[in-house]
Amino acid sequence: MKEKNIKSLLENALVENDMVVANPSLSEKENRVREEFIKLMKDKGLETDDYEIKTIDDVSVFFILKSPEKYIMKAVYNFMPEDNKVEFDTILFKKEMDETETTPEEDSIEDVKVDVVEDLEEGRIYKAVKGLNTLTEKKISRYLKGIKNKKRIGFGEKIIYDNPKVYIRQSAKELIASYDDKLSSANNSLYLFSLRDCSNESILFLK
Amino acid sequence: MLNSTVYSFFAQERRIIRYNKGKQPQIKISDLYQIPIPQDLILMDNISTLVDKIYADAIHIEKYKAKINCLLYSYYELGNSEVDIINESIEAFLQ
């Protein structure tokens, strides 16, 4: 695939998907595709917390979540690490991402051409792949199956992260709460209550 | 304020804190909305000042917590006997 097509592909993904997954794993070796991807993300104002990169075998999987409608688009690139070129096969996924999510069966996978990305229908999984072997496909499929229950650590809503809040323990024989007016977030073991502003009235109420 | 004995008592009695022996206590977020938070500005201001002191002076936390408890006892017009009932109930719940 030509580099400009990759750009176009990612641009399309970003237009349709303005939100995101946390947990970037960028410690692995970066290549041109990753750099291009990260640059495009940055141009769109997205930081590394806003997407996820997963390597399955030699395939880099880029996840960009569209939060409000709960759709996920995944661009998967099978790159060639040895020569570091961007001539690789491509898969595009777009499927519903909610509690009723099921992993598409293999027989629902359809071969389509990469350049018809704008024609993707929700709830379907597509592939345009020449080089991926069956084992890798199965691994990606398994990963997709598990993603809805995947533990994610993120900052939550920024407005809550930024403003005063009260943390409340979920499991205790007494009410145990803690006020915090600093920039902070917590994992799922704490309830978090915020009035989403830092007015004096809100601070008084929270304390 | 939520850490006060009055609110713990309320949460225990109203089963906002759900606890069965041998099991982990659970608090559901939807139940937390049952907790009434006073809108009295003087009370809120006084408690806010004490909360600030708790975070500024960790050595005397218990003293400030006791003062918050007293403010709430006074606000809810609880007498000594009622305060005793609250404290005994909490003790029993914690055992």
Question: Which tokens hold the place of B12?
Answer: 């225990």
Phi, psi of B34, rounded to the nearest 5 degrees: -70, -20
**Structural domain boundaries, residue A10:** 3-149
Residue A52 binned pLDDT confidence (cut-offs 50, 70, 90): low
User: Mean pLDDT across chain B, nearest whole number?
Assistant: 90
Span A181-204, pLDDT tens digits = 888 887 777 888 888 888 888 888
Least Cα distance to A96 among A119, A116, A123 occurs for A123
Q: Are residues A20 and A81 in the same domain?
A: yes
Name the closest residue on chain B to residue A188, using Cα atoms.
B29
pLDDT of residue A183: 85
Residue B68 binned pLDDT confidence (cut-offs 50, 70, 90): very high
Residue A118 has pLDDT above 60, yes or no: no
Q: Do A204 and B44 touch (CB under 8 A)?
A: yes
Q: Do A203 and B25 touch (CB under 8 A)?
A: no
Contacts of B41 in chain A (CB under 8 A): 204
For residue A54, the cross-strand partners are A61
Interchain CB contact of A189 with B (< 8 Å)? no
Q: Are residues A136 and A164 in the same domain?
A: no
Mutate to test the interface with B, among A167, A171, A174 (most CBs of B within 10 A): A174
Span A6-27, pLDDT tens digits = 444 444 443 333 222 222 233 3
Interchain CB contact of A153 with B (< 8 Å)? no
Residue B4 has pLDDT above 90, yes or no: yes
Q: Are residues A53 and A140 in the same domain?
A: yes
Are A160 and A196 in contact, with CB atoms under 8 Å apart? yes
Q: Please tell me the distance from the alpha carbon of residue A197 to that of residue B41, in angstroms, as a whole number.
A: 18
Average pLDDT over residues A110-127: 33
Q: Are residues A23 and A107 in the same domain?
A: yes
Contacts of B55 in chain A (CB under 8 A): 179
Name residues whose C-beta falls within 8 Å of residue B65's C-beta, 6 or more positions apart in sequence: B3, B4, B54
Domain count, chain A: 2
Spatial strand order of the sheet with A85-96 comes to A52-56, A59-66, A71-80, A85-96, A124-127, A110-111
- Among A149, A169, A186, give the residue marking a domain's end: A149
Q: Are residues A144 and A192 in the same domain?
A: no
Q: Do B1 and A207 touch (CB under 8 A)?
A: yes
Q: What is the pTM of this model?
A: 0.51
Q: Are residues A48 and A102 in the same domain?
A: yes
pLDDT of residue A85: 31
Contacts of B24 in chain A (CB under 8 A): 171
Task: Give A200 to chain B, closest Cα distance, Å.
Answer: 10
Q: Report the 10 Å Cβ neighbour count for A201.
A: 11
Element (H, E) at A13: helix A3-16
Task: Give B51 to chain A, closest Cα distance, Å.
Answer: 7
The residue among A145 and A101 whose pLDDT is bigger is A145
The residue among A16 and B65 whose pLDDT is bigger is B65
Q: Please tell me the distance from the alpha carbon of residue A60 to that of residue A125, in angstroms, as a whole number.
A: 18
Q: Are residues A107 and A192 in the same domain?
A: no
Q: Do B2 and A173 touch (CB under 8 A)?
A: no
